[in-house]
């Protein structure tokens, strides 16, 4: 547990628990588990982009409302309540845990505040608020998240406990005792009727398979071969493999002729499996299997723009009694004309994350095959009739709206698995293959080959699968919630949705220029509008989702990056001004941000997203009083290094800035930073925040200092810019990390300074000796302890992967923080029985009686900082992985000690070795 940043001591108000303490490790563990859960969460209800984990919101809302008692014993009790709210498996808390939380909230006296989220997204803030008993108000400019959150927090709570319209029934998977069971039974019933009617309309487009079921049809785009003498349709596909599952290996065998390429299916693990037409490496480079002519991406784009890009089936995927098999496409006739009512929404001319327009695609309908467009349109049209069916069967308006809305969501969710954005993915663990829905990333990419799933099947993309998945997501909703309000409103005006000064504002705003929410949402909007506009005319009154008012920094939409940035700042000034008026005076405002966009500009390290958001916040009179880093993803992934992605969410605890706040100059601000930042950084490191996120988390306590002042004056009399303040915070953070070097032994300090200059490369022996002399050591001594190699006038630190696997920190040799850190990295990164968390835990257990293992973590933080600054991404990933694994390593070390892996005191033998001064080392 750690504490939030320093607060202005003159503020005459009672602190909330969130401003003093949080059980970060428990919240982060639950948040990671929530991210990893594939079923049974509200994420299953509909796709939304970068959703905030529900356990984190549950904890933050409770802690933002509860007063800090001041008494450590009572505070510990409240922290235990929060731990009960966030089970480590990421699931919903028990009823007993919820009861304790509600009793504590009731003990505050008075009514609970209304939780207001003006960027409601997938609804996690409001769902968890309702679980705790708060009234809720949600809004979003985008009608897609507004509908999703309306279903979760307004429509479903309104029908809880009602019997099914269609008569007695257990509902999906038998939940008769559940207040949701009647509704789930209705969903199952009307979903079945919808599918039956759609089958009657378009079922003939999907030929039945004798003795089995078609799972998917695999397609490749084609362009004419660039060789005029050949000119055959060249299929663009990236892998010959259809399945690598042991005993069920299958691959494509292209057979080329003057008429074109057709495919047969090979089986087994033959050594001569033909290559795909795509060449290895990045970009679109392909080779014609008939004549060997190569084409590049420029040619492919030109072909697409001129209308010469086509489609060719590669294989059909069949499930039968023998399992999964792949068959040649020659017997599968799927020629279908594009329906006249296919989505005619224009793709954006240019937009963040969009790549397909360069290949001649102009409409969203271009993302769907003709029969996908036909079947999705049929499902949407039939679902539009459901409210009439429900009311004719005796259901009331609330039931009709809820049932039809959920089925509309099922159509929209179905589109995610029924378009050319659906990949055929081989499982890296066992080689099995299946279709993977689109939007693995927040973008619409150009896929050369894709999977067309069976909408009437029982696998990915099937209607029944969507309905069951959404139903499983609905089961994750609270059962005693009072209906909230969810509307489509610009966030600039969201404060007017509640009585002034009555709300607990908690939100996760858009991430600057990272995600084009509105442009991506049009993919779903066409189908939702077609299916649900009769039930929600307020959400679907426009042809497309609103774009011009969207609060992201889209340079394509605004004309330039700087204009986009200024638009973002101006918009959020209005948002924070509105939210400040809505916020209850005794409550903080909770803002989540998870953006990592660092750039070098004029020699300074800055973050456009952060300085834009913070500039808007401060201009609106809102300051930061504390920050918390919440780890929620696996930050050891390569994408987390040097990419615009965070492994941690940063929770900013905000308050209106003091009217009588003092001013200061640059020197005064820097003095306060140097005084306060070290104390704030230590708890962050103790919480094992990933090294990749430390600089971002440090923004919070640093900006808490900056926002405490009404004005920070530069030497020329001008006001200091937020960007300058962020640069100074980064500089002081680097100083804090460097000062931790004083905790290290001499050998480690030498290695650290050498590494900063050479990484793992060789440097002159003379320079190495000079540095060693300055630190009162020697290169020979460094070589003796196995961390440096010196030969032929060159010296280098030894890469962890090249260190001895027989290393043991117990014994009669000198030991350093550096060598333990490098060996830990070797074990974590290695493969085999002597690698991994458990093996690394044994090493810590055996080393910790001779070194301070916290110093190992401090060294890893410092090494990551150096690597990131120097652009050494692979080494940065290695040390970030070590820091991120630290909590698991400590658990493994304790288990190793319990199992006798650590030596007892009488087993520790240092052999009387002496240092250069003649004194014993230990």
State pLDDT tens for residues 392-447: 999 999 999 999 999 999 999 999 999 999 999 998 788 889 999 998 888 899 99
Lowest mean pLDDT among 15-19, 398-402, 405-409, 537-541: 15-19
Percent of the chain past pLDDT 90, that is, above it, reads: 56
Tell me the C-alpha distance between 652 and 700, whole Å.
7
The DSSP result for 651-670, as a single string, is EEEEEEPPTT--EEEHHHHH
- pLDDT tens column, 325-367: 999 886 555 667 778 777 788 999 888 889 899 999 999 999 9
At residue 540, does pLDDT exceed 50?
yes
Q: Categorize the per-residue pLDDT at 103 as very low, low, confident or very high, splitting at 50, 70 and 90.
A: very high
Q: Region 673-678: what's the mean pLDDT? A: 90
Question: Given the structure tokens 């003709």, which residue do they identify?
Answer: 370
- Please state, in angstroms and as integers, the Cα–Cα distance from residue 115 to each residue in 144, 235, 490, 782, following that order: 20, 53, 17, 59
pLDDT for 785: 77
More confident residue, 366 or 211: 366
pLDDT tens-digit readout, 783-835: 887 889 988 889 999 999 998 888 888 876 678 899 999 999 999 988 777 88
pLDDT band, residue 658 (cuts 50/70/90):
confident
Split at pLDDT 50, 70, 90, the class of 904 is: low
- Cα–Cα separations (whole angstroms), residue 589 to 52, 507, 610: 16, 9, 17
Burial 300-330 (b: 16+ CB within 10 A, else e): bbbbbeeeebebbbbbbbbbeeeebbbbbbe
User: How high is the pLDDT of residue 85?
Assistant: 97
Residue 366 · residue 347 · CB < 8 Å: yes
Residue pointed to by tokens 């810590």: 844
DSSP-assigned letters across all residues of 713-772: E-TTSPBPPHHHHHHHHHHHHHHHHHHGGGGS-HHHHHHHHHHHHHTTS-EEHHHHHHHH
Instruction: Report the mean per-residue pLDDT for the chain.
Output: 87
Q: What is the structure's pLDDT at 333?
A: 58
Reduced to 3 states (helix: H, G, I; strand: E, B; else coil), residue 317 is strand
HSE (CB half, 13 Å, CA atoms) of 28?
A: 26
Band of residue 687 on the pLDDT scale cut at 50, 70, 90: low
Q: What is the pLDDT of residue 511?
A: 85
**Residue 377 burial class via C-beta count within 10 angstroms: exposed 0-12, middle 13-18, buried 19 and up:** buried
Q: Identify the band that residue 607 occupies on the pLDDT scale cut at 50, 70 and 90.
A: low
341-355, 560-574, 740-754 — which one is most confidently predicted on average?
A: 560-574
DSSP state of 786: T
Q: What percent of the chain has pLDDT over 70?
A: 91
pLDDT of residue 116: 98
Q: How many residues does the chain have?
A: 922
pLDDT at residue 139, as a whole number: 97
Query: Is residue 155 pLDDT above 90, yes or no?
Result: yes
Statement: residue 387 has pLDDT above 70: yes
Higher pLDDT, 694 or 871: 871
Question: Is the pLDDT at 9 greater than 50, yes or no?
Answer: no
Residue 338 pLDDT: 76
Mean pLDDT for 696-723 is 86
DSSP, res 2: B
Q: How confident is the model at residue 474 (pLDDT cuts 50, 70, 90)?
A: very high
Q: How far apart are CA 664 and CA 686, in angstroms?
A: 32
**More reliable by pLDDT, 659 or 755:** 755
Question: pLDDT-derived band of residue 917, with 50, 70 and 90 as boundaries?
Answer: very low
Strand ranges, E, within 572-612: 589-593, 598-601, 604-607
């Amino acid at each position: 547990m750690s504490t939030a940043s320093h607060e202005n001591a003159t503020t005459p108000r009672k602190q909330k628990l969130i401003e003093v303490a949080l059980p970060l490790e428990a919240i982060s563990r639950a948040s990671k588990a929530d991210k990893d859960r594939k079923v049974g969460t509200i994420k299953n209800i509909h796709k939304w982009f970068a959703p905030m984990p529900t356990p984190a919101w549950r904890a933050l809302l409770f802690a933002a409302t509860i007063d800090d008692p001041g008494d450590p014993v009572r505070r510990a009790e409240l922290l235990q309540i929060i731990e009960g709210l966030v089970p480590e498996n990421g699931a919903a808390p028990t009823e007993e845990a919820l009861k304790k939380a509600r009793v504590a909230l009731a003990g505050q006296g008075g009514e609970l505040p209304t939780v207001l989220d003006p960027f409601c997204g997938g609804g996690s803030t409001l769902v968890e608020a309702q679980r705790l008993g708060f009234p809720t108000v949600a809004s979003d400019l985008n009608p897609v998240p507004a509908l999703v959150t309306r279903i979760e927090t307004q429509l479903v709570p309104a029908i809880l406990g009602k019997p099914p319209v269609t008569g007695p029934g257990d509902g999906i998977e038998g939940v008769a005792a559940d207040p949701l069971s009647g509704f789930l039974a209705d969903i199952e019933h009307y979903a079945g009727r919808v599918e039956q009617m759609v089958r009657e309309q378009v079922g003939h487009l999907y030929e039945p398979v004798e003795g089995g079921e078609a799972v998917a049809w695999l397609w490749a785009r084609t362009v004419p071969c660039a060789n005029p003498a050949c000119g055959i349709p060249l299929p663009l596909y990236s892998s010959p493999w259809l399945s690598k599952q042991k005993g069920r290996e299958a691959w494509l065998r292209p057979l080329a002729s003057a008429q074109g390429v057709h495919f047969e299916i090979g089986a087994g693990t033959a050594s001569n499996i033909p290559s795909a037409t795509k060449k290895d490496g990045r970009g679109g480079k392909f080779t014609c299997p008939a004549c060997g002519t190569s084409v590049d991406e420029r040619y492919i784009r030109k072909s697409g723009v001129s209308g010469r890009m086509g489609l060719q089936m590669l294989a059909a995927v069949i499930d039968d009694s023998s399992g999964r098999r792949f068959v040649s496409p020659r017997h599968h006739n799927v020629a279908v004309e594009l329906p006249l009512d296919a989505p005619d929404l224009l793709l954006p001319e240019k937009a963040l994350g969009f790549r397909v327009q360069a290949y001649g695609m102009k409409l969203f309908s271009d993302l769907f095959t003709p029969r996908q467009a036909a079947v999705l349109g049929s499902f949407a049209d039939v679902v539009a009739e459901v409210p009439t069916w429900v009311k004719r069967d005796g259901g009331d308006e609330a039931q009709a709206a809820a049932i039809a809305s959920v089925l509309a969501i099922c159509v929209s969710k179905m589109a995610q698995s029924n378009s050319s954005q659906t990949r055929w993915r081989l499982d890296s663990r066992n080689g099995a293959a299946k279709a993977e829905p689109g939007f693995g990333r927040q973008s619409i990419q150009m896929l050369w080959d894709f999977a067309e799933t069976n909408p009437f099947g029982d696998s990915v993309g099937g209607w029944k699968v969507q309905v069951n998945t959404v139903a499983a997501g609905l089961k994750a909703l609270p059962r005693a919630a009072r209906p909230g309000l969810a509307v489509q409103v610009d966030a600039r005006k969201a404060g007017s949705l509640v009585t002034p000064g009555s709300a607990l504002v908690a939100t996760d705003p858009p991430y600057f220029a990272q995600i084009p929410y509105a442009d991506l949402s049009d993919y779903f909007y066409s189908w939702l509008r077609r299916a649900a506009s009769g039930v929600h005319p307020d959400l679907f009154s426009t042809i497309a989702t609103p774009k011009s008012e969207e609060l992201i920094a889209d340079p394509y939409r605004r004309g330039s990056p700087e204009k986009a940035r200024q638009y973002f700042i101006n918009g959020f000034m209005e948002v924070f001004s509105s939210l400040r008026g809505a916020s209850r005076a005794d409550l903080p405002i909770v803002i989540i941000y998870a953006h990592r966009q660092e750039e070098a500009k004029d020699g300074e390290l800055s973050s456009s997203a952060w300085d834009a958001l913070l500039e808007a916040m401060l201009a609106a009179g809102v300051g930061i009083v504390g920050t918390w880093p919440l780890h929620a993803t696996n930050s050891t992934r390569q994408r987390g290094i040097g990419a615009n992605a965070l492994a941690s969410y940063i929770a900013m605890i905000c308050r209106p800035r003091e009217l009588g706040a003092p001013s200061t100059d640059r020197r005064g601000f820097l003095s306060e930073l140097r005084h306060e930042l070290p104390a704030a950084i230590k708890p962050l490191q103790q919480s094992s925040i990933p090294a990749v996120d430390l600089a971002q988390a440090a923004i919070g306590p640093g900006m808490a200092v900056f926002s405490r002042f009404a004005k920070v004056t530069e030497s020329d009399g001008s006001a200091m810019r937020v960007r300058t303040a962020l640069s100074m915070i980064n500089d002081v953070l680097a100083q804090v990390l460097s000062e931790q070097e004083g905790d290290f032994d001499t050998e480690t300090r030498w290695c650290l300074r050498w590494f900063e200059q050479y990484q793992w490369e060789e440097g002159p022996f003379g320079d190495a000796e000079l540095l060693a002399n300055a630190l009162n050591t020697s290169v020979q001594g460094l070589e003796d302890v196995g961390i440096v190699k010196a030969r032929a006038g060159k010296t280098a630190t030894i890469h962890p992967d090249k260190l001895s696997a027989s290393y043991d920190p117990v014994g009669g040799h000198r030991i350093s923080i550096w060598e333990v850190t490098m060996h830990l990295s070797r074990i974590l990164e290695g493969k085999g029985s002597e690698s991994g968390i458990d093996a690394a835990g044994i090493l810590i257990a055996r080393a910790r009686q001779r070194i301070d293992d916290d110093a190992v973590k401090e060294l890893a933080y410092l090494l990551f900082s150096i690597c990131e600054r120097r652009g050494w991404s692979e080494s940065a990933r290695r040390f970030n992985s070590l820091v991120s694994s630290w909590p698991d390593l400590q658990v493994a070390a304790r288990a190793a000690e319990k199992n006798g892996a650590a030596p007892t005191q009488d087993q520790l033998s240092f052999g009387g070795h002496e240092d250069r001064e003649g004194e014993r080392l230990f």
